[in-house]
Amino acid sequence: MYILIKKGKNIFGDYVTEKNTFLNIDNLTEESFGDIRENAVENGRLIKQAFEGSFDIVVKKGYCNGKCVVFANCDGLCNSQKIADNAIRPILSYKGELPEDSPLDFIADRIICGTEQKKETSLDNAIMQLLRGTLLIFLEGQKECIIFGVQNIPERAITEPDTEVQEFGSREGFTENIKTNLTLVRKRLCTTNFKIEMLETGKTGKTRVLICYMKGRVNPDTLEEVRSRLQGLNIDMVLGAGYLRKTLDTKRKSLFTMVGETQRPDTFAAKLCEGKVGLIIDGTPFALVVPRLFIENFQTLDDYVNRPFYAAFMRSVRILAFLISVFLPGVFVSIGLFHQEMLPDDMLYNIVIMESNTLFTLTIEALIIHFIYEIVREAGLRMPKTVGHAISIVGALVIGDAAVTAGLIGAPMLIVVALTAICSLVSSDVYQPIAILRIVFILIGGSTGLYGIVIGAAVFVISLASMTDYGVPFLAPLTPYDKALFRDSVFRLSNEKLGARIFDINGLKMTKEEGKNVNDA
């Protein structure tokens, strides 16, 4: 990972940029302060020096039975009331003797009261902890300090996630706080088998990442793979879940990803129970789940709450919507340009009359209107919420009525695009590939007709079928077909039929042992 730094001034300046140089992450260094000194005041000074006098770093000196005590914390990340009540006041007002050996333990065990406290000898680590919202307590003559947990990191309330709306699911969603997120999962998985490992990623950001899994269900290979990929990660900052996606995904060039993303703790817990590995990342409400199958894009939690027949129906509707949103504009363009004979007489007549007044060929029409749609959509996403109505009115008027009356596009094309746009919103997880594929298929359909579209679709399916990550084929359990798991994929059988069986991703894993090597020639 490189950060681009432009050397020199721009062309209007004194000298012209010769070459772009990159700042290599591997060269990034931080000042080291070594171990904690015996002099408590010195430690306080070093901390001040480390932050070069940032005003939010608070260092306070006091005395406990004649011995100097230095408290350091980062204002804003901690609860000041808690610091005063639980640490400073008991220490400073302590009148008794401090024992000669391990006085810090005495303070920790007898004087201050709190649940989270530990000792640290390295000043660097202590500073790290300071930035996580803890209080550091240095005592004169001790080469250690107490790290006292008084975090009060500002966070958003738990709200319903707006990207994954469920009709019948819980209304809780992940927040940006890693602990809250963990709590939300923990309360759904009351078992000792639920294991968590913590990693820090990012050279500068040092973002905490929790690797969550269910012991006994997760495949050790998958877990090891995730671990090693994260440890090998060379990145400056992790500001969102997507930052980790590129190392977790091996097929980086593919439009589809085998790394799932969720904002819902219930979905997250369910995926862990299927034997997958989950990642909760500090500072983002999106958790990652690996591996993810293609069919999961069309499954929702509601499917398990609804009646099976309805769930099965809705799943097929979602798949149909996906197919429509990818192929319909391309197919329409190709039929209009190449296969007019496929349309029934009256339909052809009506379409011909309506299209005969337009300016462009069908391909160009389809492209124009899709670009307009994407622009309107992007504007709707980024603009201030207060102008939302204005955009939708303009969008509706421009795309809808005016374009048809002006003869820019035909009414049939408008219907096709409108249907496509609505369908593409059904499975929001695959919106990105859909938006790209749609344009690709319009181009193919407009140049080579249905035959080109089918060849394109073949490429699409074969490349999806050849995707395997963490040993699991992306299109499973559709192909390779797995009878047991298929019953909860495209459709879902009733709970009685599924019985006590749980969807287990490990059933799909391909082992690495080689087949019989008969005449390889």
Q: Please count the other Cβ atoms lying within 10 Å of the Cβ belonging to residue 374.
A: 14
Is 353 a binding residue for other proteins by CB under 8 A? The answer is yes
- Helix, strand, coil shares of the chain as percentages rounded to 5? 45, 15, 40
Is 450 a binding residue for other proteins by CB under 8 A? The answer is yes
Dihedral Cα 322, 325, 327, 330, nearest 10 deg:
-170
Is 337 a binding residue for other proteins by CB under 8 A? The answer is yes
Is 446 a binding residue for other proteins by CB under 8 A? The answer is yes
| Closest CB 293 distance from other proteins, rounded Å | 13
Choosing from 330, 449, 477, 485, the residue that interacts with other proteins (CB under 8 A) is: 449
Rounded to an integer, what distance in angstroms lies between the CA atom of residue 146 and that of residue 139?
9
Choosing from 334, 420, 427, 489, the residue that interacts with other proteins (CB under 8 A) is: 334
Beta-carbon contacts of residue 153 (< 8 Å; ≥ 6 apart): 77, 133, 177
Length of the chain: 521
Query: Looking at beta carbons only, is 305 or 342 nearer to other proteins?
Result: 342
Is 350 a binding residue for other proteins by CB under 8 A? The answer is yes
Query: Looking at beta carbons only, is 173 or 330 nearer to other proteins?
Result: 330
Binding segment for other proteins (CB under 8 A), chosen from 5-13, 43-51, 283-291, 359-367, is 359-367
Query: Looking at beta carbons only, is 292 or 509 nearer to other proteins?
Result: 509
Binding segment for other proteins (CB under 8 A), chosen from 154-162, 261-269, 275-283, 332-340, is 332-340
Is 252 a binding residue for other proteins by CB under 8 A? The answer is no
Q: Which residues in the 162-201 window bind other proteins by CB under 8 A?
A: none
SS3 sequence of 44-110: HHHHHHHCCCCCCEEEEEEEECCEEEEEEEECCCECHHHHHHHHHHHHHCCCCCCCCCCHHHHHHHH
Choosing from 19, 382, 389, 512, the residue that interacts with other proteins (CB under 8 A) is: 512
Choosing from 361, 372, 398, 491, the residue that interacts with other proteins (CB under 8 A) is: 361
Query: Looking at beta carbons only, is 95 or 253 nearer to other proteins?
Result: 253
CA angle 431, 435, 437 (to 5 degrees): 115
| Closest CB 248 distance from other proteins, rounded Å | 18
Q: Which of 250, 207, 206 is nearest to 228 (CA)?
A: 250
Residue 124, phi-psi category: left (phi > 0), alpha (psi -120 to 50), beta (remainder): alpha
Inter-helix orientation angle 345-355/411-424, to 10°: 100
What mask, x for binding other proteins by CB under 8 A, covers residues 458 to 487?
xx-xxxxxxxx--x-x-x--xxxx------
Inter-helix orientation angle 431-465/308-337, to 10°: 90
| Closest CB 328 distance from other proteins, rounded Å | 14
Query: Looking at beta carbons only, is 193 or 340 nearer to other proteins?
Result: 340
DSSP code for 167: S
Query: Looking at beta carbons only, is 268 or 298 nearer to other proteins?
Result: 298
- Give the number of C-alpha atoms closer than 13 A to the C-alpha of residue 15, restricted to the C-beta side: 6
Is 405 a binding residue for other proteins by CB under 8 A? The answer is no
Is 510 a binding residue for other proteins by CB under 8 A? The answer is yes
Rounded to an integer, what distance in angstroms lies between the CA atom of residue 147 and that of residue 394?
58
- Which residue type sits at 143? K
Is 498 a binding residue for other proteins by CB under 8 A? The answer is no
Binding segment for other proteins (CB under 8 A), chosen from 44-52, 61-69, 272-280, 444-452, is 444-452
Q: Are 87 and 148 in contact (CB under 8 A)?
A: yes
Query: Looking at beta carbons only, is 158 or 362 nearer to other proteins?
Result: 362
Q: How many residues bind other proteins (CB under 8 A)?
A: 65
| Closest CB 24 distance from other proteins, rounded Å | 23
| Closest CB 486 distance from other proteins, rounded Å | 12
Is 359 a binding residue for other proteins by CB under 8 A? The answer is no
Cα 491–chain centre separation: 27
| Closest CB 366 distance from other proteins, rounded Å | 13
Binding segment for other proteins (CB under 8 A), chosen from 56-64, 337-345, 376-384, 420-428, is 337-345
Binding segment for other proteins (CB under 8 A), chosen from 106-114, 148-156, 367-375, 510-518, is 510-518
| Closest CB 225 distance from other proteins, rounded Å | 14
b/e 381-399 (16+ beta carbons within 10 angstroms → b): eeeeeeeeeeeeeebeeeb
Beta-carbon contacts of residue 339 (< 8 Å; ≥ 6 apart): 449, 450
Q: Are 306 and 168 in contact (CB under 8 A)?
A: yes
Binding segment for other proteins (CB under 8 A), chosen from 85-93, 366-374, 400-408, 508-516, is 508-516
Is 336 a binding residue for other proteins by CB under 8 A? The answer is yes
- Contact residues for other proteins (CB under 8 A)? 334-357, 361-363, 443, 446-455, 458-459, 461-468, 471, 473, 475, 478-481, 510, 512, 514-521
